[in-house]
Amino acid sequence: RREKYMCLAMYFNFWAAYAATLLVAGVLVALICTGRLPTWEFAYVGEGGFTGRGGFACTVVCPVVFLTVLFTFSEAYALLGFSGPPVFLDKTCIHQTDRERQREGILRLAAFLK
């Protein structure tokens, strides 16, 4: 079930999660560039090594934003009164390998559709 939910969340909510993460990343970068968020000094010790300053806010915040929007966007969208596209979840309702459970699922499908 979890894998199917994640697959549907990626299919329906990916672009919303991507856009929200991009927006948050842009705001965080602007705050870092203006000195309103902390940075740390780092050094690259490789060929042509260099030092610089970098922020960690995007590394910490952006994955949280992406996953939160990915898994809650449909519910939040529905709470605002909007409906998403209709979906018939045949493969998620009917077992695909166990024949007995598959038969039971098909028999219950008529009641589900009413």
pLDDT higher than 90, residue 50:
no
Count helices and strands in the chain by DSSP H and E runs: 4, 2
Structure-block tokens of residue 83: 């409906």
**Secondary element (H or E) of residue 48:** none
Tell me the per-residue pLDDT of 17-29, one tens digit each, with 9 for 90 and over. 999 999 999 999 9
For residues 6 and 31, membership in a common domain is answered with: yes
pLDDT of residue 8: 87
For residues 40 and 19, membership in a common domain is answered with: yes
pLDDT of residue 93: 64
For residues 13 and 49, membership in a common domain is answered with: yes
Query: What is the spatial distance between Cα 28 and Cα 93, in angstroms, rounded to a whole number?
Result: 42
pLDDT of residue 10: 93
Q: How many structural domains does the chain have? A: 2
Asked whether 69 and 17 are in contact (CB, 8 A), the reply is yes
This prediction has a pTM of: 0.69
pLDDT of residue 112: 65
Look-up of token digits 């018939």: 88
Query: What is the spatial distance between Cα 35 and Cα 92, in angstroms, rounded to a whole number?
Result: 49
What is the residue-averaged pLDDT of the chain?
86
